[in-house]
Structure 1
Amino acid sequence: MMNLCTNAYQAMFENGGILEINLQAVQVDKQLALQHPNLHVGQYVRLTVTDTGTGMDPYLLERIFEPYFTTKPLSEGTGLGLAVIHGIVMNLGGAITVQSRVGIGTSFNVFLPQLNVVAESESVGRELIPRGDERVLFVDDEEPLTVIGKKLLERLGYTVTVRTSSVEAFHAFQANPEKFDIVITDQMMPNMTGLQLSKKIKEIRKDIPVVLITGFSETLNMDAINDSGINEFALKPMTTNDIAQLIRKALETKEFSK
């Protein structure tokens, strides 16, 4: 959802507009199932993200889910966002559709199979999410994601410094290495990747934990991750509990290694 909202935000960046998000249970009928082979007749949850931005012409609509296809300048993105979303949705047994008109806006519909949830014990679903009070340097070149990430981490008790440029993040760390207790970074960013940022940070302060969270893994390998000094690595999307657990694991590893 964050990726879809980011695309909507960018489509409305110059002239503003309205972003609408809707979630509802729907029945997929035979006609819709025939149009989308990954769907079957039955109950689904439909997430709809609609914007009143620039819209797309038919040529763009045919290619938006292709890996590395993007309408942005090379310095502003990799074109992997919608391809990643498409892959995740398909792997979950769902489908994603898009309608768009130039000058009117765009609407994405994500269909996911509805699960039959059986009531379990009161403790299930109420697992305590680990919190902390450490100081976090959070780095992502997508500004909407930094806004969401900052709010999430602050709700968990952390003090958060945000940078939307890996170069600016490095300069902030270089200026005061003791100001931060952990670094959380995206991978695919202009000028300096997350791995490169980690390596430069570790040259200054070897003991600081660095967590890499990315939406695409095929450009990475474990040798590169290890060489960069990354302490923990995870793929988007992640739940609040996933992120909270990952942070504590990275910080506890640091404490254990002292």
Structure 2
Amino acid sequence: MSRILVVDDEEPLRTLVARGLGLDGHSCLTASDGAEALDMLIAEGGRFDLLLTDIRMPLMDGIALALAAKQAFPDLTIMLMTGYAEQRERARSLEAIVSEVMTKPFTIADLRETVMKVIERSIG
């Protein structure tokens, strides 16, 4: 299946998301903030099918990560997660580079379905 980088500063959610996506056969690596994720993207040469990141995080938030990742790896598919309405509004300006924004809380079933749709759209 797909190779996914899951980024969230909350360890329990990060682990739950990675495990849930693993049920569909995806290979997930995780990072605890945007800076760590960007380092991983660069080290891996951008070889991920999806960057799934929370918006609100310390050091480098998900929007800054999305902008930097897309600049470095224009073909990377990006999906955001947020539990904050104001962050969702900030993400609207990124429609050209972000495939989807999921609102927390969400069910793992909804996440799995949305990730599958986003990946299928990115494959074309």
Report the TM-score, using the length of structure 1 for normalisation.
Answer: 0.45
Displacement after TM superposition at 1:178 (Å): 4.1
Displacement after TM superposition at 1:223 (Å): 4.1
Displacement after TM superposition at 1:206 (Å): 1.2
Q: Which amino acid aligns with 2:31?
A: R
Contact 1:137–1:182 (Cα < 8 Å) also in 2: yes
SS in 1 for 2:88: coil
Q: Over aligned residue pairs, what C-alpha RMSD do you find? A: 1.5
Aligned residue number for residue 186 of structure 1: 54
Q: Gaps spanning 5+ residues in structure 2: where?
A: none
Greater gyration radius: 1
1:252 and 2:116 correspond: no
2:60, 2:101 → 1: CA distance?
18
- Change in 2 beyond 3 A, CA 1:206/1:148: same
1:163 and 2:31 correspond: yes
Aligned residue number for residue 226 of structure 1: 95
- Of 69, 72, 82, the match for 1:214: 82
- Deviations 1:18-67 (CA, angstroms, capped at 9, x unpaired): xxxxxxxxxxxxxxxxxxxxxxxxxxxxxxxxxxxxxxxxxxxxxxxxxx
Q: Which amino acid aligns with 2:69?
A: I
Deviating runs (4+, > 3 A) in structure 1?
Answer: none
Displacement after TM superposition at 1:203 (Å): 0.6
- Of 226, 239, 245, the match for 2:107: 239
Aligned residue number for residue 145 of structure 1: 13
Structure of higher RCO (CA pairs closer than 8 Å, 6+ residues apart): 2
Contact 1:182–1:251 (Cα < 8 Å) also in 2: yes
Identical pairs, percent: 29
1:139, 1:193 → 2: CA distance?
10
Which structure carries more helix by proportion?
Answer: 2
Displacement after TM superposition at 1:194 (Å): 0.8
2:24, 2:67 → 1: CA distance?
27
SS in 2 for 1:220: helix
- Change in 2 beyond 3 A, CA 1:144/1:224: same
Aligned length: 123
Aligned residue number for residue 73 of structure 2: 205
1:219, 1:238 → 2: CA distance?
16
1:144, 1:171 → 2: CA distance?
22
